[in-house]
Chain A
Amino acid sequence: MSDAVVVSGLGFVTSIGHSRASVSEALRALRHGLAPWVAVPGVEVAVKLAGLLPGFEVGASNPAAWSWPEEFQIDASVARPMPPHGVYVLAALQQALGEARLSPEILRDGATGLYCASGGSARTLHQHLGKLEASGWQRAHPHGVISSVAGALNFHLAALLGIRGASCGFVSACSSGSHALGFALDEIRLGRQQRMIVVAAEDLNAESALPFAGMGALSAASDPVLASRPFDRGRDGFVPTGGAVVLVLESESSAMARGVRALARMLGWGQACDGHHVAMPQPEGRGLGDAMRMAMGDAGLTPVDIGYVNAHGTSTPAGDRAEARALTEVFGGHRVPVSSTKALTGHGLSLAGLMEAGFCVLALDEAFIPGQAHLREPDEDSARLHLPRETLRQQPRVVLNNSCGFGGSNVSHVFSSAHS
């Protein structure tokens, strides 16, 4: 198909803002969303900080006690059987569908699909299984499955929106959201769907975050400025966050038919696996390098065309080192600005790739390049990168978004400005 694929709607519930305007402002000012976090009330744990979601109270085991900022019109009956991150999704969905001006009739037209990414809710599963075991395995709550498993988002949203096109969930750890977006692009380019609602979300609670401490992946720092510092010599792990991002992707003709403005174009994507280790990246970032080259090839571009890279950069020693090496190998002498916005947001796991795709779209639509926050002294691999310390007030033409997940899964996207 010759029709371009564009982004026509965005919705954010993130630690740096619950609206497009607040997220954009935080990216420009490099204002982080990390704050002291009590993962388990009354218990001292190794993790001191998180990217919090102020105004969203979804910690109670009884969903009827959950609450959210009043600007979001969320039906409590719809939210109740969902995992806690479902509430974030409903708020982000409201924004994205509003911006893309997608009516209920269009969502049900069969030409609209839905791809979701989430690790499920370990918390809800924990609670339901705990109660089931306590009952001698006799009393299972009817919502035990649909409020907790990894497909919960697509189950609920497909029914809620009346989706009759494609519907699927993606589970590739921290590249899940990026996989969802990449395959959504293919659905449109193959002519199977005119538009795709792409959703990525995660809980933020003890069950979602603390298991990563057992792998040594979490920062033990208590100073927000020192905790998430991708590419810095002193980094010691990631800071957890949750939230939701919704992105509407559609053919340009579909958006134009409704008179909706394109925020950016999505030109291509690529994925490649390290084939190396269950949790560690291949030290030279081999798979990520391949994914970046594939994405640029898919877009018909080369490294010199790229004006900004939103790095995966979680602030773990091994992950950032492998990515720095991959970027150096792929971009060679081309001095492309690179930053990891996880310095500001924390790491959203399945959410991360789509959240950062959303940030790339904002950068293209509003003409800025997010700087690398919290960087004091790059290590020797990172020192080869161009890591601007402040946000640059300039229009990037083409940007690349990286994500990496467990099992050596790597995904890259390429977007361009819709202004050109």
Chain B
Amino acid sequence: MHNERVLISTSCAIDFLNYGQRAVRAFNQAMPVSTEFAAKSPAQIEEALVGFEPSCVAAALRYRESGEFEDFWTMLPGIIAFHLPRSAARPPAVLEDEMRLNEDLGLDSLALTEMAFLLDEVFQLSIETRDVVGVATVGDLKAFLKRKLETR
């Protein structure tokens, strides 16, 4: 089951990389920001993301306006940084798809479930803890989030 999920995720990641910018924009137009997130004021978003890097909060505010996956994705280094078990280990500024969430970035399984919970709570992505089993790399995560945005 675990391998199957990884295969599905990897396949989604490859699909996503082939989309290109136009496809991303088309996708974003089809999948607007959740009503609940859009209804939040900038102050409420800042409160929900207290402790996150300023660049991450700024991207969240942009995403609220644009609904673009690019803005959503720009938040991710900050979201990962927040959820690392130790602040001392900073993730790289640019995330490459082949980076492993645990081994390369230090995001253990508990941190991953916490991150999933936050994404569900703040952005209404309807993520259940078992959904993130098999999300092992940045590419997996990107594909996973895309899938969640599509099916929300």
Contacts and interface: CB of A to CB of B under 8 A. Distances in A.
B120 A142 contact: no
Contact of A142 (B87, B88, B114): B114
A62 B50 contact: yes
A408 B48 CA distance: 45
A64 B84 CA distance: 13
Interface residues of A, number: 14
Contact of A75 (B52, B82, B88, B114): B88
Contact of A76 (B47, B48, B51, B113): B51
Given A64-B50, A65-B50, A77 B117 contact: no
Interface in B60-95: 82-88
B85 A142 contact: no
Nearest to B81: A77
A75 B87 CA distance: 6
A77 B84 contact: yes
Interface in A356-385: none
B41 interface: no
Nearest to A78: B86
A75 B81 CA distance: 13
A349 to B, nearest CB: 29
A142 B83 CA distance: 12
A77 B114 contact: no
Given A64-B50, A64-B51, A142 B86 contact: no
A143 B114 contact: yes
Contacts of B52: 64
A142 B50 contact: no
B129 interface: yes
Contacts of B114: 81, 141-143
B87 A141 contact: no
Given A62-B50, A65-B50, A76 B87 contact: yes
B129 A142 contact: yes
A65 B84 CA distance: 17
Nearest to B85: A77
A77 B83 CA distance: 7
A139 interface: yes
Given A76-B87, A77-B84, A142 B117 contact: yes
Interface in A56-110: 62, 64-65, 75-78, 80-81
Given A62-B50, A64-B51, A65-B51, A78 B85 contact: yes
Contact of B87 (A77, A81, A140): A77
A141 B116 CA distance: 10
A141 B117 contact: yes
Given A65-B50, A143-B114, 11 more contacts: A62-B50, A64-B50, A75-B86, A76-B51, A77-B85, A78-B85, A81-B110, A139-B120, A142-B110, A142-B113, A142-B114
Interface of B: 47-48, 50-52, 82-88, 110, 113-114, 117, 120, 129
Closest 3 pairs between A and B when the two form their complex, measured CB to CB: A64-B51, A142-B113, A77-B87
8 contacts: A62-B50, A75-B86, A75-B87, A75-B88, A77-B82, A139-B120, A141-B114, A142-B110
